[in-house]
Protein backbone atom coordinates (compact mmCIF):
# COMPACT_ATOMS: atom_id res chain seq x y z
CA UNK A 1 0.00 0.00 0.00
CA UNK A 2 2.85 2.38 0.84
CA UNK A 3 4.49 1.84 -2.53
CA UNK A 4 1.17 2.11 -4.37
CA UNK A 5 0.54 5.53 -2.86
CA UNK A 6 4.10 6.54 -3.74
CA UNK A 7 3.38 5.55 -7.33
CA UNK A 8 0.18 7.61 -7.34
CA UNK A 9 2.06 10.56 -5.87
CA UNK A 10 4.82 10.21 -8.44
CA UNK A 11 2.29 10.23 -11.31
CA UNK A 12 0.47 13.28 -9.93
CA UNK A 13 3.71 15.22 -9.46
CA UNK A 14 5.03 14.20 -12.89
CA UNK A 15 1.83 15.33 -14.61
CA UNK A 16 1.76 18.57 -12.61
CA UNK A 17 5.28 19.59 -13.60
CA UNK A 18 4.73 18.47 -17.19
CA UNK A 19 1.56 20.54 -17.61
CA UNK A 20 1.96 23.52 -15.27
CA UNK A 21 3.00 25.72 -18.19
CA UNK A 22 0.51 24.49 -20.76
CA UNK A 23 1.06 25.90 -24.23
CA UNK A 24 -0.90 25.60 -27.46
CA UNK A 25 2.28 24.57 -29.25
CA UNK A 26 3.77 21.87 -27.01
CA UNK A 27 7.49 21.60 -26.43
CA UNK A 28 9.85 19.87 -24.07
CA UNK A 29 8.28 17.61 -21.46
CA UNK A 30 4.76 18.69 -22.42
CA UNK A 31 5.42 17.51 -25.96
CA UNK A 32 6.51 14.08 -24.69
CA UNK A 33 3.48 13.72 -22.39
CA UNK A 34 1.04 14.79 -25.10
CA UNK A 35 2.63 12.44 -27.62
CA UNK A 36 2.40 9.44 -25.26
CA UNK A 37 -1.19 10.15 -24.18
CA UNK A 38 -2.33 10.91 -27.72
CA UNK A 39 -0.73 7.73 -29.08
CA UNK A 40 -2.48 5.64 -26.44
CA UNK A 41 -5.78 7.46 -27.03
CA UNK A 42 -5.56 6.80 -30.78
CA UNK A 43 -4.89 3.13 -30.04
CA UNK A 44 -7.98 2.88 -27.80
CA UNK A 45 -10.27 4.69 -30.25
CA UNK A 46 -8.84 2.62 -33.11
CA UNK A 47 -9.97 -0.55 -31.33
CA UNK A 48 -13.24 0.64 -29.75
CA UNK A 49 -14.30 3.45 -32.05
CA UNK A 50 -14.59 7.13 -31.19
CA UNK A 51 -17.73 6.87 -29.02
CA UNK A 52 -16.74 3.88 -26.90
CA UNK A 53 -13.07 4.85 -26.98
CA UNK A 54 -13.80 8.14 -25.21
CA UNK A 55 -15.75 6.24 -22.54
CA UNK A 56 -13.16 3.52 -21.99
CA UNK A 57 -10.00 5.62 -22.26
CA UNK A 58 -9.85 7.09 -18.70
CA UNK A 59 -9.99 3.68 -17.00
CA UNK A 60 -7.84 1.83 -19.55
CA UNK A 61 -5.18 4.55 -19.56
CA UNK A 62 -5.15 4.79 -15.76
CA UNK A 63 -4.57 1.05 -15.48
CA UNK A 64 -1.79 1.17 -18.07
CA UNK A 65 0.16 4.06 -16.57
CA UNK A 66 -0.30 2.87 -12.97
CA UNK A 67 0.90 -0.65 -13.74
CA UNK A 68 3.77 0.68 -15.85
CA UNK A 69 4.94 3.12 -13.16
CA UNK A 70 4.65 0.41 -10.49
CA UNK A 71 6.72 -2.03 -12.54
CA UNK A 72 9.45 0.46 -13.39
CA UNK A 73 9.75 2.14 -9.99
CA UNK A 74 10.07 -1.29 -8.37
CA UNK A 75 13.39 -1.77 -10.17
CA UNK A 76 15.09 0.93 -8.08
CA UNK A 77 17.69 -0.54 -5.67
CA UNK A 78 15.91 0.76 -2.55
CA UNK A 79 13.14 -1.80 -3.02
CA UNK A 80 13.26 -5.00 -0.94
CA UNK A 81 16.61 -4.13 0.68
CA UNK A 82 15.74 -1.44 3.27
CA UNK A 83 13.40 -2.19 6.14
CA UNK A 84 13.04 -3.50 9.65
CA UNK A 85 14.24 -6.80 11.06
CA UNK A 86 11.83 -9.37 12.44
CA UNK A 87 14.00 -10.91 15.15
CA UNK A 88 14.05 -14.71 15.27
CA UNK A 89 16.50 -17.43 16.22
CA UNK A 90 17.18 -18.24 12.58
CA UNK A 91 17.57 -16.30 9.36
CA UNK A 92 20.14 -13.74 8.24
CA UNK A 93 22.75 -12.42 10.66
CA UNK A 94 22.65 -8.61 10.75
CA UNK A 95 25.57 -6.55 11.94
CA UNK A 96 24.89 -3.40 13.93
CA UNK A 97 26.53 0.02 13.73
CA UNK A 98 25.16 3.07 15.54
CA UNK A 99 21.84 1.27 16.01
CA UNK A 100 21.49 0.52 12.28
CA UNK A 101 21.20 -3.14 11.23
CA UNK A 102 22.65 -4.25 7.90
CA UNK A 103 24.06 -7.27 6.12
CA UNK A 104 27.47 -7.11 4.44
CA UNK A 105 27.30 -6.42 0.72
CA UNK A 106 27.60 -9.48 -1.50
CA UNK A 107 30.53 -9.57 -3.84
CA UNK A 108 30.28 -10.51 -7.55
CA UNK A 109 29.33 -14.13 -7.82
CA UNK A 110 28.66 -14.88 -4.19
CA UNK A 111 26.56 -14.09 -1.11
CA UNK A 112 28.72 -12.93 1.79
CA UNK A 113 25.94 -12.42 4.33
CA UNK A 114 25.87 -15.03 7.11
CA UNK A 115 22.69 -16.89 7.92
CA UNK A 116 21.46 -19.45 10.41
CA UNK A 117 19.39 -22.31 9.06
CA UNK A 118 16.54 -23.52 11.25
CA UNK A 119 17.33 -27.12 10.27
CA UNK A 120 20.94 -26.76 11.41
CA UNK A 121 21.56 -28.90 14.50
CA UNK A 122 23.77 -26.16 15.95
CA UNK A 123 21.44 -23.24 15.20
CA UNK A 124 20.91 -22.46 18.91
CA UNK A 125 24.67 -22.20 19.53
CA UNK A 126 25.12 -20.07 16.40
CA UNK A 127 22.31 -17.78 17.56
CA UNK A 128 23.86 -17.33 21.00
CA UNK A 129 27.26 -16.63 19.42
CA UNK A 130 25.76 -13.97 17.14
CA UNK A 131 24.00 -12.30 20.09
CA UNK A 132 27.22 -12.30 22.12
CA UNK A 133 28.97 -10.57 19.19
CA UNK A 134 26.36 -7.78 19.25
CA UNK A 135 24.57 -8.96 16.11
CA UNK A 136 20.89 -9.58 15.43
CA UNK A 137 19.29 -12.56 13.71
CA UNK A 138 16.03 -12.60 11.78
CA UNK A 139 14.30 -11.82 8.51
CA UNK A 140 14.17 -8.51 6.68
CA UNK A 141 10.74 -6.83 6.48
CA UNK A 142 11.20 -4.34 3.60
CA UNK A 143 9.56 -0.93 3.77
CA UNK A 144 9.17 -0.75 -0.03
CA UNK A 145 7.99 -3.66 -2.15
CA UNK A 146 6.91 -3.79 -5.77
CA UNK A 147 3.08 -3.40 -5.73
CA UNK A 148 2.55 -6.00 -8.44
CA UNK A 149 4.77 -8.57 -6.71
CA UNK A 150 2.13 -8.75 -3.98
CA UNK A 151 -0.97 -10.71 -4.98
CA UNK A 152 -3.33 -8.12 -3.48
CA UNK A 153 -2.54 -5.33 -5.97
CA UNK A 154 -3.08 -7.34 -9.20
CA UNK A 155 -6.28 -8.76 -7.67
CA UNK A 156 -7.53 -5.26 -6.83
CA UNK A 157 -6.77 -4.10 -10.38
CA UNK A 158 -8.55 -7.15 -11.80
CA UNK A 159 -11.65 -6.45 -9.67
CA UNK A 160 -11.68 -2.78 -10.74
CA UNK A 161 -11.33 -3.84 -14.38
CA UNK A 162 -14.24 -6.28 -14.04
CA UNK A 163 -16.46 -3.70 -12.32
CA UNK A 164 -15.71 -1.15 -15.05
CA UNK A 165 -16.51 -3.63 -17.83
CA UNK A 166 -19.81 -4.71 -16.28
CA UNK A 167 -20.77 -1.09 -15.56
CA UNK A 168 -20.17 -0.07 -19.18
CA UNK A 169 -22.22 -3.04 -20.37
CA UNK A 170 -25.17 -2.27 -18.07
CA UNK A 171 -25.15 1.42 -18.99
CA UNK A 172 -25.12 0.56 -22.68
CA UNK A 173 -27.56 -2.36 -22.70
CA UNK A 174 -29.63 -1.90 -19.56
CA UNK A 175 -30.52 -4.52 -16.96
CA UNK A 176 -31.26 -6.93 -19.81
CA UNK A 177 -27.51 -7.46 -20.03
CA UNK A 178 -27.96 -9.90 -17.15
CA UNK A 179 -29.64 -12.37 -19.55
CA UNK A 180 -26.16 -13.10 -20.81
CA UNK A 181 -25.52 -14.98 -17.55
CA UNK A 182 -29.00 -15.97 -16.33
CA UNK A 183 -31.02 -16.85 -19.41
CA UNK A 184 -33.58 -19.24 -17.90
CA UNK A 185 -36.67 -17.74 -19.57
CA UNK A 186 -36.81 -20.11 -22.59
CA UNK A 187 -36.26 -23.12 -20.31
CA UNK A 188 -39.17 -22.18 -18.03
CA UNK A 189 -41.43 -21.42 -21.00
CA UNK A 190 -40.64 -24.82 -22.51
CA UNK A 191 -41.48 -26.56 -19.22
CA UNK A 192 -44.77 -24.73 -18.78
CA UNK A 193 -45.78 -25.36 -22.40
CA UNK A 194 -44.60 -29.00 -22.38
CA UNK A 195 -42.53 -28.21 -25.47
CA UNK A 196 -39.54 -30.57 -25.55
CA UNK A 197 -37.76 -28.64 -28.31
CA UNK A 198 -38.05 -25.38 -26.38
CA UNK A 199 -36.91 -27.11 -23.19
CA UNK A 200 -33.85 -28.47 -24.98
CA UNK A 201 -32.98 -25.09 -26.51
CA UNK A 202 -33.65 -23.31 -23.20
CA UNK A 203 -31.42 -25.76 -21.37
CA UNK A 204 -28.58 -25.02 -23.79
CA UNK A 205 -29.10 -21.27 -23.37
CA UNK A 206 -29.09 -21.58 -19.58
CA UNK A 207 -25.94 -23.74 -19.63
CA UNK A 208 -24.14 -21.29 -21.93
CA UNK A 209 -25.12 -18.44 -19.60
CA UNK A 210 -23.66 -20.28 -16.61
CA UNK A 211 -20.44 -20.86 -18.57
CA UNK A 212 -20.33 -17.14 -19.38
CA UNK A 213 -20.67 -16.33 -15.68
CA UNK A 214 -17.89 -18.77 -14.77
CA UNK A 215 -15.67 -17.29 -17.48
CA UNK A 216 -16.13 -13.84 -15.90
CA UNK A 217 -14.92 -15.20 -12.57
CA UNK A 218 -12.02 -17.09 -14.17
CA UNK A 219 -11.03 -13.86 -15.90
CA UNK A 220 -10.31 -12.35 -12.47
CA UNK A 221 -7.96 -15.23 -11.70
CA UNK A 222 -6.15 -15.04 -15.05
CA UNK A 223 -5.79 -11.25 -14.81
CA UNK A 224 -4.39 -11.50 -11.29
CA UNK A 225 -1.91 -14.31 -11.73
CA UNK A 226 -0.66 -13.18 -15.15
CA UNK A 227 0.55 -9.85 -13.78
CA UNK A 228 1.59 -11.16 -10.37
CA UNK A 229 3.44 -14.18 -11.79
CA UNK A 230 5.45 -12.22 -14.34
CA UNK A 231 6.50 -9.43 -11.97
CA UNK A 232 7.24 -11.71 -9.01
CA UNK A 233 9.26 -14.07 -11.22
CA UNK A 234 11.26 -11.12 -12.57
CA UNK A 235 12.03 -9.94 -9.05
CA UNK A 236 13.22 -13.42 -8.06
CA UNK A 237 15.39 -13.71 -11.19
CA UNK A 238 17.10 -10.39 -10.49
CA UNK A 239 17.63 -11.37 -6.85
CA UNK A 240 19.17 -14.74 -7.71
CA UNK A 241 21.40 -13.42 -10.47
CA UNK A 242 22.61 -10.64 -8.16
CA UNK A 243 23.91 -13.32 -5.82
CA UNK A 244 25.15 -15.78 -8.45
CA UNK A 245 26.66 -13.72 -11.26
CA UNK A 246 28.72 -10.54 -11.81
CA UNK A 247 26.85 -7.23 -11.80
CA UNK A 248 27.20 -6.80 -15.58
CA UNK A 249 25.02 -9.84 -16.22
CA UNK A 250 22.41 -8.64 -13.72
CA UNK A 251 22.15 -5.30 -15.57
CA UNK A 252 21.03 -7.19 -18.68
CA UNK A 253 18.14 -8.68 -16.70
CA UNK A 254 17.18 -5.19 -15.54
CA UNK A 255 16.81 -4.26 -19.21
CA UNK A 256 14.64 -7.32 -19.73
CA UNK A 257 12.44 -6.37 -16.76
CA UNK A 258 11.98 -2.85 -18.18
CA UNK A 259 10.62 -4.44 -21.36
CA UNK A 260 8.45 -6.93 -19.43
CA UNK A 261 7.04 -4.07 -17.34
CA UNK A 262 5.79 -2.32 -20.48
CA UNK A 263 4.38 -5.51 -21.97
CA UNK A 264 2.47 -6.51 -18.82
CA UNK A 265 0.97 -3.02 -18.41
CA UNK A 266 -0.06 -3.02 -22.07
CA UNK A 267 -1.58 -6.52 -21.89
CA UNK A 268 -3.61 -5.71 -18.76
CA UNK A 269 -4.97 -2.48 -20.25
CA UNK A 270 -5.70 -3.95 -23.69
CA UNK A 271 -7.49 -6.99 -22.28
CA UNK A 272 -9.69 -4.65 -20.25
CA UNK A 273 -10.47 -2.77 -23.46
CA UNK A 274 -11.19 -5.95 -25.44
CA UNK A 275 -13.45 -7.39 -22.74
CA UNK A 276 -15.31 -4.06 -22.57
CA UNK A 277 -15.92 -4.17 -26.31
CA UNK A 278 -17.12 -7.77 -26.08
CA UNK A 279 -19.54 -6.91 -23.26
CA UNK A 280 -20.96 -3.86 -25.04
CA UNK A 281 -21.29 -5.56 -28.44
CA UNK A 282 -22.94 -8.69 -26.97
CA UNK A 283 -26.24 -6.90 -26.43
CA UNK A 284 -26.08 -5.28 -29.86
CA UNK A 285 -25.86 -8.71 -31.50
CA UNK A 286 -28.69 -9.98 -29.32
CA UNK A 287 -30.80 -6.97 -30.30
CA UNK A 288 -30.22 -7.54 -34.01
CA UNK A 289 -31.14 -11.20 -33.61
CA UNK A 290 -34.39 -10.26 -31.84
CA UNK A 291 -35.27 -7.77 -34.59
CA UNK A 292 -34.68 -10.39 -37.26
CA UNK A 293 -36.85 -12.88 -35.40
CA UNK A 294 -39.70 -10.38 -34.96
CA UNK A 295 -39.60 -9.27 -38.60
CA UNK A 296 -40.19 -12.81 -39.78
CA UNK A 297 -37.86 -12.39 -42.76
CA UNK A 298 -34.11 -12.61 -43.41
CA UNK A 299 -32.22 -9.44 -42.56
CA UNK A 300 -35.19 -7.97 -40.71
CA UNK A 301 -36.90 -6.65 -43.90
CA UNK A 302 -40.64 -6.21 -43.85
CA UNK A 303 -42.50 -8.30 -46.46
CA UNK A 304 -43.63 -6.21 -49.44
CA UNK A 305 -47.33 -5.37 -49.65
CA UNK A 306 -49.19 -6.65 -52.72
Rounded Cα–Cα distance for residues 11 and 75 (Å): 16
pLDDT for residue 197 is more than 80: no
**Can you say whether residue 82 is alpha, beta or left, with left for phi > 0 and alpha for psi between -120 and 50 degrees?**
beta
**pLDDT over 90 at 193, yes or no:** no
DSSP, residue by residue, 252-299: HHHHHHHHHHHHHHHHHHHHHHHHHHHHHHHHHHHHHHHHHHHHTSGG
Task: Give the model's pLDDT for residue 105.
Answer: 58
pLDDT of the residue at 99? 65
Q: Could you tell me the sign of the dihedral formed by the alpha carbons of 173, 174, 177, 183, in that order?
A: negative
pLDDT at 248 (0 to 100): 79
Q: What DSSP state is assigned to residue 302?
A: P
Q: For the residues 19-35, what does the mean pLDDT come to?
A: 80
Higher pLDDT, 267 or 284: 267
Summary mean pLDDT of the chain:
79
Band the pLDDT of 106: cuts 50, 70, 90.
Answer: low
Q: What percent of the chain has pLDDT over 90?
A: 29
Going by pLDDT thresholds of 50, 70 and 90, the confidence category of residue 44 is very high
pTM, two decimals, is: 0.77
Is the pLDDT at 64 greater than 90? The verdict is: yes
Q: Is the pLDDT of residue 304 over 70?
A: no
Predicted confidence (pLDDT) at residue 204 exceeds the cutoff of 80: no
The per-residue pLDDT for 95 is 74
Q: What is the pLDDT of residues 75-100, one digit of tens each?
A: 888 888 787 777 777 777 777 776 67
φ, ψ of residue 103 to 5 degrees: the values are -110, 145
pLDDT at residue 107 tops 70: no
Confidence of residue 6 (pLDDT cuts 50, 70, 90): very high
Taking residues 24-40, what's their average pLDDT? 84
Average pLDDT over residues 195-214: 74
Tell me what pLDDT residue 284 has: 53
> Torsion angle, CA of 171/155/260/19, rounded to 10 degrees?
60
Residue-range domain boundaries for the chain:
2-77+147-284, 83-142
pLDDT (0 to 100) of residue 27: 73
pLDDT for position 41? 94
> What would you report as the CA-atom Rg of the chain, rounded to the nearest whole angstrom?
28
For the stretch 241-250, pLDDT in tens is 877 777 778 8
Question: How confident is the model at residue 18, as a pLDDT?
Answer: 82
pLDDT over 70, % of the chain: 82
Amino acid sequence: MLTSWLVVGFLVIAVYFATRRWEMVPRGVQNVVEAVVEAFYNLVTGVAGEKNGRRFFPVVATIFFFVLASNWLSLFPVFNVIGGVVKEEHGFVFEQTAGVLYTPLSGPGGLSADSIDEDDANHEELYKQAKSDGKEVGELFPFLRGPNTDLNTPLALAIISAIAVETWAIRSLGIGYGKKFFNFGPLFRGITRFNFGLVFQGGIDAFVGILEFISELVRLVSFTFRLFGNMFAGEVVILMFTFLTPVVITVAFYGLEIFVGVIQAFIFAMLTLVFAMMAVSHGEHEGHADEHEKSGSPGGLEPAAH
